[in-house]
Amino acid sequence: MLLKVGELARHTGLTVRTLHHYDAIGLLAPSARSEAGYRLYGTADIGRLHAIQALRLLGLPLAEIGGLLGAESGSLPTIIARQIASLDQQIAQATALRERLGLLERRLAEGGQPDMKDWLATLAQMTAYGRYRYFSPAEIKSLMANWNTVADQWPPLVADVAALMARGVPADALEVQPLAFRWMNLMGQWMDGSFDLITRWGEMYRREPGVRRADGPPAELIDYIGEAIGVRMAALLRHLRTDDFARLGKPPEEEWRRLASELTALQARGLPPGDEAVQAIALDWVRLFDAFTAHDPALAERLMRAMAAEPVLQAASVIEPAVRGYLLQAIAVLRQKDPKPAPQPLDPDVA
């Protein structure tokens, strides 16, 4: 029996995008293809998927799982034994949480009121139980440390998203895309750019209400911005491979905005694209884009095609269309002088 990718996704609760990602990074390649080219998964493939998901739940990053599966410690019997040990630990945590909840239930049934210490201890166990099902202690430590670098940026972004929702703007409207772009970048900063961590965090946030911060965004807002991000991802995946995202650097958004502002001023003064000041900005832009795309011309080319073809991606641009044309003219002049610079970027705002 062979399953198509959509059937496998439905049976396992995974997304088709996740299975495509596993295929793209060489972690789970389907053993067969239909005559129409559809991915087909057999029993051995599903056994490997079990191993992948088991190791993920044990806290291993995707980058390490592939190598581990080829080693003795990555054999299915060994993995299942580790999974059982991990489940035993989770059962112990769940049992302790159940006992505490039972204590609260009895006190309330008897007409009493638990004190603050009881409530706080219960909440702490709920949070720990929820988080450790999705992240290893080391990953949680890293996420908590990274949180301090992005915490101040979330409230204004959440407020902006809530304002669009209040106005009734559809999630798939182009107007939402600048916020989807900001949200994706901020998640990337928080999660060290790990597609795997971002996916697991999303799963936990949807499935574990107990781990959500009291001042965090409501579930309906997460669904709203998630739909907008899905539109953006669909546009990107028409041109990029899923493994491309892990190779992209952090978008130097502030630097690009500064250069766009300077270009706008120079264009308003009527300076030609070949002017020395314009050329200096063009060179800075090319260098930033080259670093952002891991110095890979093929990746840069895929990003350029995506930006040129997708209005959804253009909607979040830091540079106006007229100024973008001015920049491209300047880069064309730059390349005439020196053909070595990285491919000319149509726009950086695609990740």
Distances (CA, A) of 291 to 83, 262, 285, 296, 313: 40, 21, 10, 9, 20
Given this model, what pLDDT does residue 163 score? 96
Instruction: State yes or no: pLDDT of 178 exceeds 90.
Output: yes
**β partners of residue 41:** 3
Most confident of 44-53, 94-103, 108-117: 44-53
More confident residue, 266 or 208: 266
Strand order from edge to edge, sheet including 3-4: 3-4, 39-41, 32-33
Look up residue 35 and give its two tokens: 């005559």
More confident residue, 40 or 349: 40
Given this model, what pLDDT does residue 164 score? 96
Instruction: State yes or no: pLDDT of 281 exceeds 90.
Output: yes
Given this model, what pLDDT does residue 343 score? 47
CA torsion, ordered 278, 280, 284, 289, to nearest 10 deg: 50
Per residue, what are the HEC states of 309-350?
HCHHHHCCCCCCHHHHHHHHHHHHHHHHHCCCCCCCCCCCCC
More confident residue, 11 or 271: 271
* Residue 81: other Cβ atoms inside 10 A: 11
Given this model, what pLDDT does residue 326 score? 92
Percent of the chain with pLDDT over 90: 21
More confident residue, 73 or 246: 246
Kindly indicate the confidence band of residue 176, based on its pLDDT and cuts at 50, 70 and 90: very high
Given this model, what pLDDT does residue 89 score? 63
Give pLDDT tens digits for 59-97: 666 777 777 776 554 566 776 776 676 667 666 666 766
Given this model, what pLDDT does residue 183 score? 92
Evaluate whether the domain defined by 3-74 bears CATH number 3.40.50.2000: no
pTM beyond 0.75: the answer is no
Given this model, what pLDDT does residue 346 score? 46
Give pLDDT tens digits for 154-165: 999 999 999 999
* Domain assignments of the chain as residue spans, ordered by start: 3-74, 86-133, 134-237, 250-337
Most confident of 14-28, 101-115, 155-169, 198-212: 155-169
- SS3 of residue 93 by DSSP: helix
Percent of the chain with pLDDT over 70: 75
